[in-house]
Structure 1
Amino acid sequence: MHTTTSATDRAYRYAKEAILDRRYAGGDLISEGDIAAGVGVSRTPVREALLRLQGEGLVRLYPKRGALVVPVSQGEIDDVIETRRLVEGHTAQKAAGAEADVRGALVRRLGELLGRMRTEVDGDRQAFILADRDFHREIVAASGNDILVGLYDSLRDRQLRMMEEGVRTVARMCRNIDEHAAILAAIEAGDGPAAGRAVQVHMDGAAHLLGART
């Protein structure tokens, strides 16, 4: 049982990462055999992995043909941005209103992640992206609501494959840093409304990059 589960997890991670970084583009039809060969497992765990991905809305299964990578639609882009506004605006305001010791610990973690982003502007772009993602996730996680954390993770996964190559320029990365700094400053000051507004400004930038209508 452990071996099967491990093989399924490997196949799931392999296929999901390939979809998110667009090695498998929207509209591509991928076969169980392709994934099985790439991971080095049999087709049974691949089938289970694809069922999980279908549940996440990333693929659509066609018996005996394979799995179609679901193209990103304008509606999905709009929905992701709108939901991130609601989740992150709410949790940022909640973080700003937390007890001083809880807020202080969060501020320290956010400061470390912001410092990592500054370091990686001219360095490892993937490290910048991970620090960016972790910054937002720390704020959502501070809410103590595991459902919101899971929702945030799925939203960022979806947004990752919406980003076109070349969009994350150094200028945009520097702007991201400034926007993150504004969110951090509002949380540190315990100013919930300002934290909410700072998140909305940041999401305006994301909406512009993705061509969202929200």
Structure 2
Amino acid sequence: MQGNGRAEEAATELSGREKAYRYVKEQVLTSPAAQGWFLSEQELATRIGLSRTPVREALLMLQAQGLVEMVPKRGIHIPAMSGRQIAELMELRGVLERHAASRALADGTVPVAAMRSALAEQEAIATDPGAEAARTFIELDGRFHQFLIDSAGSELVSDTYAGLRARQLRIGLTALLSSSDRVRAVCTEHQAIIDALEVGDEGLVHEKINDHLEITLQILLRT
């Protein structure tokens, strides 16, 4: 019976750690305004409704991923992404997306319908100037690209790309809020990628992916 109690306790702690991990990664780290912030474990624990232990465990996981820095006597620092880090992120995205597109075209698994559906949802909120709409738009943006990534049929590629989500949401929102016409431009660029996939021209698909990522990168580097 005592062993079962320890197992239940471990499961509860794991659940708490996962809850804290997801909260910080999806609600805190995705905000452009969070860059440069210092947070305390107790503040996060109170906000999430947990004890400090699972929160600390979650923060250690995030620190191992380079998403936060635990600074003695100051708290948890959310570092801003440098221009070099942003460029490297966009470069990695390009490598993964071009690879996925090539595989999907070769295997006949191009997810045009799913990507078109995500784009339609983006277009439906493109004229909404609210902050919540902007976040939803960027989440749909992530879904659009993840559909393409997943079509390659590689669990490792899909997991690697999904692991970039927090950083991508943050810089995506930054780019969106930095340019008044970026929302419509993203929709146009997404449509160009879909059109190239439908034609089945691998070189053209790569070109449209590169154009989309390069435009975003240049906006971010000017911010």
Give the equivalent residue in structure 2 for 1:179.
189
Q: What is the distance in 2 between the residues matched to 1:161 and 1:152?
A: 15
Q: Is the aligned partner of 1:72 residue 2:77?
A: no
Equivalent-residue separation in structure 2 for 1:110 and 1:144 (angstroms): 16
RMSD after superposition? 1.9
Residue pairs, 1:1-214, within 5 angstroms: 1-16=10-25, 17-22=27-32, 24-26=34-36, 28-63=37-72, 65-99=74-108, 102-103=109-110, 106-123=111-128, 124-162=133-171, 163-164=173-174, 166-167=177-178, 169=180, 171-211=181-221
Gaps of 5+ in 1: none
Q: C-alpha separation between the residues in 2 aligned to 1:132 and 1:80? A: 16
Q: Percent identity?
A: 32
CA offsets, 1:32-51, max 9 Å, x none?
A: 11111111111110110001
Question: 2:216 is matched by which residue type in structure 1?
Answer: A
Distance 1:207-1:23 versus aligned 2 partners, 3 A rule: closer
1:92/1:199 contact within 8 Å kept: no
1:117 to 1:168, Cα distance in 2 relative to 1, 3 A = farther
The one-letter amino acid of 1:107's match is V
Task: After superposing the two structures, state which structure 1 stretch, 6-15 or 90-99, moved more.
Answer: 90-99
Structure 2 gaps, min length 5: 1-9
Q: C-alpha separation between the residues in 2 aligned to 1:176 and 1:141?
A: 21
Does structure 2 conserve the Cα–Cα contact (< 8 Å) formed by 1:81 and 1:203? Answer: yes
Deviations along 1:12-71, whole A, 9 cap, x unmatched?
Answer: 122222122145332x32211111111111111011000111011011223554322222
Q: TM (normalized to structure 1)?
A: 0.87
Report the TM-score, using the length of structure 2 for normalisation: 0.84
Cα distance in 2 for residues equivalent to 1:161 and 1:126: 9
- Deviating above 4 A after TM superposition, structure 1's stretches of 4 or more consecutive aligned residues are none
1:75-96 Cα deviation digits (max 9, x unpaired): 2112111111111122122222
CA distance in 1, matches of 2:29, 2:137: 20
